[in-house]
Structure 1
Amino acid sequence: MPPQTRSAWTRTLGQLAIVLAVALLVGFALGHPWPALAIAALGMSAWHGWKLHGLLLRLAARQRVAPTGDGGVWNELDRLVHRGQEDMRGRNRRLVEMLRAYSAAAAALPDAVVVLERNSQRVRWFNDAATGLLGLRYPDDIEASLGERLQPLPLSHWLAGGRRAEPILDAASPVDPAVRLSLRLIPYSDALWLLVARDVSKLTRLEQMRQDFVANVSHELRTPLTVVHGYLDMLDPEDQPEWAPILDEMRRQSLRMTQLVEDLLTLSRLEAQDGVADEHVAMDSMLVTLRREAEALSQRRHEIRVDDDAGIDLLGSTRELHSAFSNLVANAVRYTPAGGHVAIVLARSEDGGATLSVRDSGYGIPAAHLPRITERFYRVSTSRSRESGGTGLGLSIVKHILHLHQARLDIESEVGRGSVFTCRFGPGRVIARDRAGAAPSPVEQP
């Protein structure tokens, strides 16, 4: 107990003892000591009850309780309550200042910020940028349904997904269709969501410029490379035997550049596509073609195995899916040492979809490289990629093709024990093989 509180308590007990002693003496003088003592005790209880009642009334009325200055326990209680009130006022003042600072910072952000209720999707608050980017008006749109207010945007279904929704939605601004917005839904609390909309129009234009530049440059490189390759084929190393190694290296590099240009054109074409045709892709003939290509590339240096127990076909582009699967198989053969094995497995998944996995017993990929392995031109080992003839675009092409088929690529790998590349397709891309009619012919190599 603090000294000041102990002193107040001792003072109050002393006052009570003095009052009771005086009452007892007066009682003895009158010949009725005990009634006098009882009356004094009741009086003291009534006085303390009156002080407690007054304190409760002041607290209930949210009045500031100032110390009375009598030095007793009630003065100490008033002092402690007053100190608590002052501390609370200070904390509230600091909280208000912080809220004002946060509100001013949120209002100054160039991104639109909207706080909305989780269940009803009603707007609770928004900053100034939300007016320019989303068209929200204060105070008319407070408590309005965001999905109904921004009707041109496909927000209702997206917001209904909550924590399961896609993290980012790309859409045009309802204020200006030329402005592209990137919308992100952030969990704010159990009852509230935070919607952040960012203007990505410049980034979209820059990305389009990059795609156009890569496509144009790649297309223009085709002709000179064809000419160079043609002249190299015309040169006969028998005329100048000492030139033979130089000509062989020039042919290899010419072919490598041609393959790089073709991959860049393929990637540019895939980035420009919005979707693929829903063709019937016969997986039995597809697997036969993949086995033949793997054996041709392996030259009997590996064990090639194909497992097809799923009994299903796929919906999609035969050409694109063959390109994706062929890239995975070629990578598995290139990066597996002689004597290793490569397995191509088609199976059903638990959700009713399908998976095509390419397993190898190759070098494996360090875990630090896995998050970036599908980026264009990203190489785990530059020297090994050059030796194998890779362009660094294969997995990027695979990723884009699967994205167009609403599928995804999962990669598992361990250094020294090989890798597993799995293409996962949803149930909507699966067809039972016995209901499919005539199967298309196998995909042939150009």
Structure 2
Amino acid sequence: MPLHARTAWTRTLGQLAIVLALALLAGVLVGYPWQLLAVAALGIVAWHYWRLRGVLLRLTARQRVEPSGGNGVWNELDRLLHRTQEEMRGRKRRLVEMLRAYSAAAAALPDAVVVLERNSQRVRWFNDAATRLLGLHYPDDIDASLGERLQPLPVARWLASGRRAEPMLDVPSPASAGVRLSLRLIPYSDELWLLVARDVTKVMRLEQMRRDFVANVSHELRTPLTVVHGYLDMLDPEEQPEWAPILEEMRRQSQRMTQLVEDLLTLSRLEAQDSLVDEDVSMGSMMVTLRREAEALSQRRHAITVDDGADIDLIGSTRELHSAFSNLVANAVRYTPAGGSISIALARSADGGAVLSVRDSGYGIPAAHLPRITERFYRVSTSRSRESGGTGLGLSIVKHILQLHQARLEIESEVGQGSTFSCHFGPERVHARERDVARLPVAGP
């Protein structure tokens, strides 16, 4: 117990003892000691209850308790209540200042910020940028359904995904047709979510300029490369034997540059597409083709096995999926030393979808490189990639093709143990194989 409270308590007990002693002495003088002592005790209790009543009334009415000048326990209680009230007022004042500062900061953000209720998707608060980018107006849109306010954007369905909602990277603004937005949902509590909308118009314009530049330059490089190929084919190394190594290296490098141009054109074409024309993809024929390509690239240097026991087909683009799968197979052959093994498998996933995996026993990829391995031109080992003839665009092409099929690429790798590249397709992209297709043995070289 603090010193002031202990002193006040001792002083109050002393005062009570003195009052009771005086009452007892007066009772002895008049001949009624116990009666006067009882009356004094009742008076003391009544007085304390009266003081307690006053404190409760002030607290109930939220009145400010002023410290009194006495030195009893009730005076000390008034001082403690006054100090507590002052501390609470100070904390409340600081909290209000912080809330105002945060509100001002959120209002000044160039990105639109909207606070939503999780279950009802109703708007609780939004900043000034939400008016400019999303077309929300205060106070009309407070407590309104965000899905209804942002039509025709598919926001309601997107919000229903909750924590699993992927960012919407390029959508038109409801307030301005020429503005492109990136929407992101941040569940920051059990009851409230945060919707952040960013103006990416300039970024998308620059990205389109980059795509057009790459596509145009790649297209223009085709003609000079064709001319170079023609002249190289006309040169006969038997006429000048000393030129043979030089001509061979020139042919090899020109072919590598041609492949690079073709990959750039493929990547530019994929980036310019928002969707693909769906068709039934015969995975039986696909697996036969992948095995044939793997054996042709391997030249009997690897043990190749194929597992096509899932008995399913996919829905998508046969051309694009073949491009993606063959890229994975080519990488497995390219980065697996002679004597290694390569396994291609098609299987059902637990959610009813499908997984096509390509596993190798190659060099493996360090964990630090995995997050960036699908970036264009990103190389784990520059020297090894050049020796193997890779362009650095294969996995980027695979990623874009899978995204157009609402699929994803997962990579597992361990240095010295090999890598596994898995293409995961949702149930909506899978159906049972309906027609007879050339079947592969479940496993075997």
- What TM-score do the two structures reach when normalised by structure 2? 0.96
* Contact 2:179/2:201 (<8 A) preserved: yes
Cross-structure match for 2:435: 436
Distance 2:348 2:119 in 1: 37
Cross-structure match for 2:94: 94
Deviation at 1:167, TM superposition (A): 3.4
Cross-structure match for 1:70: 70
Cross-structure match for 1:304: 304
Asked if 1:250 corresponds to 2:250, the answer is yes
| Range moving further from structure 2, 282-291 or 409-418 | 282-291
Cross-structure match for 2:442: none
SS at match of 1:157: helix
SS at match of 2:119: coil
Cross-structure match for 1:319: 319
Cross-structure match for 1:442: none
SS at match of 2:363: coil
* Contact 1:215/1:268 (<8 A) preserved: yes
SS at match of 2:62: coil
Cross-structure match for 2:26: 26
Residue type of the partner of 1:50? W
Distance 1:145 1:312 in 2: 42
Deviation at 1:169, TM superposition (A): 5.2
Instruction: Report sequence identity in percent.
Output: 82
Residue type of the partner of 1:436? R
Deviation at 1:131, TM superposition (A): 0.9
Structure 1 residues 105-163: Cα deviation after superposition (integer angstroms, max 9, x where no partner): 11111111111211111111111111111111111111112111222221111112222
Classify 1:308/1:437 alpha carbon distance in 2 versus 1 (closer, same or farther; 3 Å). Answer: closer
* Contact 2:373/2:379 (<8 A) preserved: yes
Distance 2:200 2:278 in 1: 31
- What TM-score do the two structures reach when normalised by structure 1? 0.96
* Contact 2:167/2:182 (<8 A) preserved: no
Deviation at 1:438, TM superposition (A): 7.5
Residue type of the partner of 1:278? D
Residue type of the partner of 2:53? H
Query: 1:256-275 counterparts in 2 under 5 A?
Result: 256-275=256-275
Cross-structure match for 1:443: none
Asked if 1:210 corresponds to 2:210, the answer is yes
Structure 1 residues 61-80: Cα deviation after superposition (integer angstroms, max 9, x where no partner): 11111122121000000000
Query: 1:13-52 counterparts in 2 under 5 A?
Result: 13-52=13-52
SS at match of 2:370: helix
* Contact 1:168/1:185 (<8 A) preserved: no
Deviation at 1:258, TM superposition (A): 0.4
SS at match of 1:304: strand
Asked if 1:10 corresponds to 2:10, the answer is yes
Distance 2:263 2:114 in 1: 43
Asked if 1:79 corresponds to 2:100, the answer is no
Query: 1:278-427 counterparts in 2 under 5 A?
Result: 278-427=278-427
* Contact 1:69/1:75 (<8 A) preserved: yes
Classify 1:40/1:404 alpha carbon distance in 2 versus 1 (closer, same or farther; 3 Å). Answer: same
Deviation at 1:437, TM superposition (A): 6.7
Cross-structure match for 1:444: none
Structure 1 residues 320-363: Cα deviation after superposition (integer angstroms, max 9, x where no partner): 11111111111111111111111111112222221111111100
Any gaps of 5 or more consecutive residues in structure 1?
A: 440-446
Residue type of the partner of 1:102? Y
* Contact 1:68/1:78 (<8 A) preserved: yes
Distance 1:83 1:310 in 2: 75
SS at match of 2:310: coil
Deviation at 1:37, TM superposition (A): 0.7
Distance 2:161 2:313 in 1: 31
Cross-structure match for 1:163: 163
Residue type of the partner of 2:5? T
Asked if 1:106 corresponds to 2:116, the answer is no
| Range moving further from structure 2, 164-173 or 359-368 | 164-173
Residue type of the partner of 2:313? D
Deviation at 1:3, TM superposition (A): 1.4
* Contact 2:111/2:199 (<8 A) preserved: yes
Distance 1:225 1:330 in 2: 24
Superposition CA RMSD, Å? 1.3
Deviation at 1:317, TM superposition (A): 1.6
Distance 1:188 1:427 in 2: 30
Deviation at 1:408, TM superposition (A): 1.2
Deviation at 1:171, TM superposition (A): 1.5
| Range moving further from structure 2, 325-334 or 268-277 | 268-277
Distance 1:139 1:58 in 2: 38
Residue type of the partner of 1:76? E
Residue type of the partner of 1:303? A
SS at match of 2:87: helix
Any gaps of 5 or more consecutive residues in structure 2?
A: 439-445
Distance 2:269 2:167 in 1: 26
Distance 1:402 1:150 in 2: 29
Residue type of the partner of 2:86? E
Residue type of the partner of 2:435? A
SS at match of 1:268: helix
Query: 1:120-199 counterparts in 2 under 5 A?
Result: 120-168=120-168, 170-199=170-199
Distance 1:160 1:83 in 2: 49
* Contact 2:360/2:418 (<8 A) preserved: yes
Deviation at 1:431, TM superposition (A): 2.7
Structure 1 residues 46-97: Cα deviation after superposition (integer angstroms, max 9, x where no partner): 1111011001111111111112212100000000000000000000010111
